[in-house]
Structure 1
Amino acid sequence: MLIDSFQRTIDYMRVSVTKQCNFRCQYCMPDTPDDFIDKTALPLPKMLTFIKLAIDNGIKKIRITGGEPLLRTDLCEFIGGIYAYAPHIELTLTTNAFLLEKYAQGLKDAGVNRINISLDSLKSERIKHISKRDALPQILRGIHKANELKLGIKLNMVPLKSVNEDEIVDMLEFAKTHHFGVRFIEFMENIHAKDTLKGLRANEILAHINTKYTTTLLKKECFGPAKLYTIGNGSNDKAFAFGIISPHEDDFCQSCNRIRLTSDGVICPCLYYQESVNLREAILQEDTKALQSLLEKAIKNKPEKNQWEQNMNPSLLSTRAFYYTGG
């Protein structure tokens, strides 16, 4: 069992399999050249050796992220290797869904339980504006294909002022209609994002929803980053839960049970904290003794809380790209 210095049990690992992405979202990697290739990504069979060791140490949930993970052509085989080793593991994937229609069946067959889909608008022109890709029809086909296969679906939306904030209720209703989960995520400041972007805080997101629905705080997800709310619009309206992820709030880190492995073999104990532990050579050499020691070091180094603040000094913005850590 992995327990950090603040007595939190670490049993969830996010694994980025590539820094490469087919989108250029404004809040993530808008100025990255279109021909960018992740030349340092580890071979997935080598990465699998470390993941097995992490599972042996108590990791119970693994989320595959990127970049865009579906750009790895051997991804389903990799996920299948995890499932074959530990069928009890909760296996999830975060994707922009552009390639999901093609790979949904393979992901389900490999052992994926649920898919989180980044979807910031239901309007084609806005998706094109945010991501620099005319992608909405293909995204929606991917979502509906995954739904047909009975994969769990959760939508992630980053509300941005003067960009898509007027679609918060629309996204909520889209998720409710199709029985998807939905999380609204506060924009996380970083030096790679467009400097003109302004996100909405949790109270502002709720204010948009409250123009149409009554919201009730349900609870904070157990060992999760989201606060859960229900909406109701009268006694005959069936309750529907949604979440808001607020990294700027003080209680965001109290129950954190996560570490992140980057595609080049670095463990980031915290998303918004620069310290990390490099496992690359140990992974390439499949040196399980060194990997065990480095994993324990990463857990020991996990900070009590992240470095986000409500009004951050620009000099303190994260220099670590989210397409590197996997969000």
Structure 2
Amino acid sequence: MLEDSYGRRFHYLRLSITEACNFRCQYCLPDGYDGPPNSAFLQLEEIQTLISAFAQMGTSKVRITGGEPSLRRDFCDVIAHAAATPGIERVATTSHGARLFKDGLRWADAGLDQVNISIDSLDPNQFASITGQDKLQQILKGIDLAVEAGIKVKINTVLLQDFNANRLNRFLAWLKKTPVTLRFIELMETGDHHEFFARQHVSGEPIRRKLIEEGWQPLLREKNAGPAQEYYHPDYAGRIGLIMPYSKDFCKSCNRLRVAANGKLHLCLFSEQGLDIRPYLAQGDVQGVKQFITEALSDKSVSHFLQEGKTGATRNLAMLGG
């Protein structure tokens, strides 16, 4: 089992397979993507080596991220390999969801267990303003299809000051009958967006207090779960989670490692630099990958230090998939 010097165990791999995305979210790529093509990123054989190595070290969950992972033509092949790897119990992905209605059943057939979809507003005009795409209704149709297909669905919503009014009430009304988990995520500061962060950051704590006042109850956290504090209510089909990276002891429960699409290991979303493991991946050297990662973990820091304004090498969230 992978374990760092602070006793944290790592059951969860977040694997980015592309930095490309065709949305223009205000907090990530407001000017659009202008980076390397998918041919520059990890190839399927390298991905297979990587997942096999992590599985042999106790990883039980793989989340395939981007950019937008569905932009890769071999996306279903990546899902299928992860699902077929001994030791991997759950395969998830994070997507903007625009292709979910068209391709979701293919993803499920390949072995996808869970999908996280980014919806920052249920108001079509606000959604288009935030993302640069007028595709909310298409995405909601895809979510309905995924739920019917048995895929576990979570919705990611970034808290933004300009779009905060009435959002909670609209989402609560939707969750009455929609069996998904909605997670409110505090905006995180990145290298390209210092001024945007200063204008738009909103704490999730007032929402947490309001939920508790209205009878929402906390859920126990699974070993390979993400960092969200999740709540349920007997009157609602859906659940609500809060991801508050600026809260005290947020990093204490860290259980995931990240590999970027360029083949670099990141011990933290906001680490100063990635550690290049691609030479081992290119050679199909599972043992070399395992040894490299085990040794690298001794340098994992106790905190991301976001609260001190340190954003590391993360220019935008598309680089590592959040």
Q: Please give the TM-score of this superposition, normalised by the length of structure 2.
A: 0.90
Paired position in structure 2 for 1:322: 317
- Provide Cα deviations, 1:156-215, integer angstroms capped at 9, x if missing partner: 1112112244212212331332111111110111132372341221223336658xx614
Structure 1 residues 23 and 240, CA, compared in 2 at 3 Å: closer, same or farther? Answer: closer
Q: RMSD across aligned C-alpha pairs, in angstroms? A: 2.3
Please list, as runs of the form range in 1=range in 2, the aligned pairs for 1:75-90 lying within 5 A after superposition: 75-86=75-86, 88-90=88-90
Distance 2:236 2:143 in 1: 24
The match for 1:306 among 299, 304, 307 is 304
Distance 1:243 1:94 in 2: 16
Distance 2:77 2:238 in 1: 36
Distance 1:278 1:36 in 2: 17
**In the alignment, is the contact (CA less than 8 A) between 2:92 and 2:115 conserved in 1?**
yes
- Provide Cα deviations, 1:43-97, integer angstroms capped at 9, x if missing partner: 1222111111110111001111111111111111121112222275211111110
Structure 1 residues 47 and 167, CA, compared in 2 at 3 Å: closer, same or farther? Answer: same
Structure 1 residues 145 and 217, CA, compared in 2 at 3 Å: closer, same or farther? Answer: closer
Distance 1:87 1:148 in 2: 27
SS of equivalent residue, structure 2 residue 156: strand
Please list, as runs of the form range in 1=range in 2, the aligned pairs for 1:186-265 lying within 5 A after superposition: 186-193=186-193, 195-196=195-196, 197-206=199-208, 214-216=214-216, 218=218, 221-223=221-223, 224-231=226-233, 237=235, 241-265=239-263
**In the alignment, is the contact (CA less than 8 A) between 2:227 and 2:243 conserved in 1?**
yes
Structure 1 residues 215 and 253, CA, compared in 2 at 3 Å: closer, same or farther? Answer: farther
**In the alignment, is the contact (CA less than 8 A) between 1:28 and 1:323 conserved in 2?**
yes
Q: Which runs of 5+ in 2 are unaligned?
A: none
Paired position in structure 1 for 2:103: 103
Range 31-40 or range 259-268, more displaced: 31-40
Range 141-150 or range 192-201, more displaced: 192-201
Structure 1 residues 241 and 48, CA, compared in 2 at 3 Å: closer, same or farther? Answer: same
Please list, as runs of the form range in 1=range in 2, the aligned pairs for 1:117-136 lying within 5 A after superposition: 117-136=117-136
The match for 2:287 among 270, 286, 289 is 289
| 4+ residue segments displaced more than 4 Å | 33-36, 207-210
> How far off is 1:120 after superposition?
0.5
Structure 1 residues 144 and 184, CA, compared in 2 at 3 Å: closer, same or farther? Answer: same
Distance 2:128 2:276 in 1: 36
**In the alignment, is the contact (CA less than 8 A) between 1:45 and 1:78 conserved in 2?**
no
Distance 2:33 2:107 in 1: 29
> How far off is 1:287 after superposition?
2.4
**In the alignment, is the contact (CA less than 8 A) between 2:23 and 2:132 conserved in 1?**
yes
Distance 1:266 1:176 in 2: 42
**In the alignment, is the contact (CA less than 8 A) between 1:102 and 1:142 conserved in 2?**
yes
> How far off is 1:222 after superposition?
3.9
Distance 2:265 2:40 in 1: 15
**In the alignment, is the contact (CA less than 8 A) between 1:168 and 1:209 conserved in 2?**
no
SS of equivalent residue, structure 1 residue 146: helix
> How far off is 1:146 after superposition?
0.9
The one-letter code sitting in structure 2 at the alignment partner of 1:203 is E
Range 105-114 or range 27-36, more displaced: 27-36
Distance 2:236 2:172 in 1: 14
The one-letter code sitting in structure 1 at the alignment partner of 2:202 is L
Structure 1 residues 324 and 201, CA, compared in 2 at 3 Å: closer, same or farther? Answer: same
SS of equivalent residue, structure 1 residue 2: coil
Identity of aligned residues (%): 32
SS of equivalent residue, structure 1 residue 97: coil
Paired position in structure 1 for 2:58: 58
Paired position in structure 1 for 2:6: 6
The one-letter code sitting in structure 2 at the alignment partner of 1:253 is C
- Provide Cα deviations, 1:237-294, integer angstroms capped at 9, x if missing partner: 4686421101001221111110011111111111122243211122112223321221
Range 151-160 or range 285-294, more displaced: 285-294
> How far off is 1:216 after superposition?
4.4
Distance 1:52 1:102 in 2: 30
Please list, as runs of the form range in 1=range in 2, the aligned pairs for 1:66-77 lying within 5 A after superposition: 66-77=66-77
Structure 1 residues 34 and 169, CA, compared in 2 at 3 Å: closer, same or farther? Answer: farther
The one-letter code sitting in structure 1 at the alignment partner of 2:112 is V
Q: Is 1:274 aligned to residue 276 of structure 2?
A: no
